[in-house]
Amino acid sequence: MPQRPDETMSTPCDPQGGARPPELLHLRAAGVSLVLDLAGMPRVLHWGADLGDLDDAALADLRLAVRPAPAGFPVDGEVVPSVLPSQAEGWLGTPGLTGSRAGRSWSPRFAAGTPSLTSGDDGGAVLVVPAADPATGLELELVVELTPQGLVRQRATLTSTGGDPYEVGGLLLMLPVPARATTLLDFGGHWARERAPQRTAFTHGTRLRENRRGRTGFDTPYVLVAGTDDLGHRRGEAWGWHVAWSGNHRTVAERSHHHAGLLGGGELLGPGEVRLAAGESYTSPWVYGSYGEDGLDAVAARFHGWLRARPQHPRSPRPVTLNTWEAVYFDHDLVRLTELADAAAEVGAERFVLDDGWFGSRRDDTSGLGDWYVSDEVWPDGLGALIEHVTARGMQFGLWVEPEMVNPDSDLARAHPDWVLRLPDRLPRPARSQQVLDLARPEAFAHVLERLDALLTENDIAYLKWDHNRDLVDAGHGPDGVPGVHGQTLAVYRLLDALRARHPRVEIESCSSGGARVDLEILQRTDRVWASDCIDALERRSIQWWTNLLIPLELMGAHVGSSASHVTGRTASLGFRAGTALFGHLGIEWDLQQADADQRAELASWVALYKDVRGLLHTGASVHADGADPAVQVHGVVAQDGSDALFTIASIASSAQMPAGTVALPGLDPAATYHVRPQEPGGGSRGGWPTPWWGPEGIRTTGRVLAKVGVRAPHLAPEQLVLVRATRVD
């Protein structure tokens, strides 16, 4: 039974190998404190800045200090919501668990069992709390983890122990934020404009974001941030929240006169989508909390550090990738593609990816999807000749696939019309002339796995560009057409897991009409994301800037397109295009046969620079300056030891100031002295008005001066950029 609040728990060994934690538990890692009250269901007393060493008496006083007066609540006494808030606690805000047994057992009252705590040598800790409510026939296992990087991860498993089937309406896990978090930042967007930031006041009421697209979505909240009024990249406190799920999901920010604020999230379930018979369980997605004492860059650093610490995180240098889509589209021809491969190799590409159009009857986007056989019409001798040519030039070969989709005009759809997600009486309205293959059907799953496995076994393929080009609309599963997004999402995960187990050396990119499937759960199974189908460098500056809030640069595909964007028609200099794509996993999306010798030579110089600095870009800390001039963007990467850094100063519009003002170069060691100078090929003065310090010799000054005073930016016309290198002087 839970102990009374005035009792202190000892820490004997738990039979399962963990330790029984004290009633008041203080977890610390990487500058973050998480203080939990385990007298009942876990309640968070503090999530934020490290509180230092606190003994039992100090923790007891902390609980007393934050304890609310028992006034104004809807029930007698105090109401402090747990990480799974419920009406049984007296909480009338958004409940953590909704569901019933045909209208009964809708308000469980969980009693926590004996928790266990496992601490790692790396500073992380995992708390597991079992709970049960015999009256409703439900059991719960809560997992709360503080990672070595200071991330808070939560997940819950709900089990029905008997009675009629229990229909899960939703399971949302939550963390509190303090009253000084008065600003909310999240994201909207659409195709070719992913992750567009939007700020609102964090006022009383519920800000609910629901995604029903069946994939993470263009308009996902992405990272929901509650922050102080002065929130910026390098200033203010920030509490970031991410739901790691690639299907439908909900994100909540809630404040009332009862509570200063909660952030919550989980899966969005359809009616009857999860019904638990006796002994069956439902496990929620992981939800992640990232605290930043000094702004958004600190929030990002925790996500990046956690991703980079994973065993499966890409360790080899991220190869320069040429993708053929905007070069040839569906016009596949061996001679043309081998010439393109030669041009790619000449500028330094290390991977060549054949995009859509290589299979079945796929000559345009209206047919053939689902027929994962090499087209006899276009490739009568198979892909072998192209693959051999590509690998002989020292490049890896990659291939585009869209395994979750099917064209009605395909052999697969004609043979198995019942393999489509649909309602019993109708097909969903088509999108891009395609439907969604029901991978929760075992036979459909087995077919797709067999076809992909065969392609990878029979061909020397090192990389799959895995696309997903439509939302899941009217996505019914099985003969009754019950909601199928939950099962489809889990099936996609199983498919990726099975394929990676069979072909562990093959890398996979998550592409979804561009950047519509970017989340931490899909990234457990993929090696990078395609940030957007829009390669317009001006648009990409914002897309990549904000994508970097969650994922590090090495996981973000960023390509150099042709001079005129295929999506927007905007033209830009090669330096602006390449300098923007440099800060990511660099690639090329351009018919190099149409580039002249000077353009190829300039592109080759940018590729060479990328190869020289990718070790820095893909291991260092991302930094973003909070500039006063909205026309100028400054961002960069600083080595973890502060020894080296590369910055971009970019003009994205006409500035109201002329000559240009000063810009900060943030993130450097404030006590160290740095040699700061232009970095070619993105260096040099622009526009004919030289800046006094801007030259090959540069300047020498401290990191504190560079962050607090800054340097005079060179005069830049709109859509121009320069690179600045800062190296510590020992």
Residue 431 · residue 421 · CB < 8 Å: no
Cα of 167 vs its chain's centroid, Å: 30
End-to-end CA distance of the chain: 60
Q: List alpha helices for 94-168, DSSP H.
A: none
Residue 646: phi and psi, rounded to 5, are -130, 130
Q: 574-581 and 537-547 helices cross at what angle (nearest 10)?
A: 10
Strands 138-146 and 281-283, sheet pairing: unpaired
CA-CA distance, 700 to 610, in Å (whole number)? 25
Paired tokens of 555: 């996981």
- Three-state secondary structure call for residue 484: coil
State the virtual CA torsion across 442, 445, 450, 453 in degrees, nearest 10: -140
Enumerate residues 6+ apart whose C-beta is below 8 A from 265. Answer: 172, 173, 224, 241, 242, 243, 249, 250, 251, 252, 285, 287
Q: How far is CA 402 from the centre of its chain?
A: 20
Phi-psi region at 236: left, alpha or beta (left = phi > 0; alpha = psi -120 to 50) = left
**Helix, strand, or coil here: 705?**
helix
Indicate the SS3 state at residue 299: helix
Verify whether residue 6 is a known catalytic residue.
no
Q: Tell me the C-alpha distance between 123 and 429, whole Å.
A: 51
Catalytic site includes residue 467: yes
Q: What is the DSSP letter of 103?
A: T
Query: Which residue out of 186, 533, 536, 669 is catalytically annotated?
Result: 533
The catalytically annotated residue of 37, 467, 471, 536 is 467
Strand partners, 586: 558
Contact between 62 and 45 under an 8 Å Cβ cutoff? The reply is: yes
DSSP codes, 256-289: ETTEEEEEEEEE-PPTTSSEE-TT-EEEPPEEEE
Report the distance separating Cα 379 and Cα 388, nearest Å: 14
What does the alpha-carbon distance between residue 214 and residue 475 come to, in Å, rounded to a whole number?
8
Q: Residue with structure tokens 């300098």? A: 579
Give the tokens for residue 448. 């797709």
**Per-residue 3-state assignment (H helix, E strand, C coil) for 148-159:** CCCCEEEEEEEE
Nearest to residue 124, comparing CAs of 10, 12, 34?
34
Active site residues: 467, 533
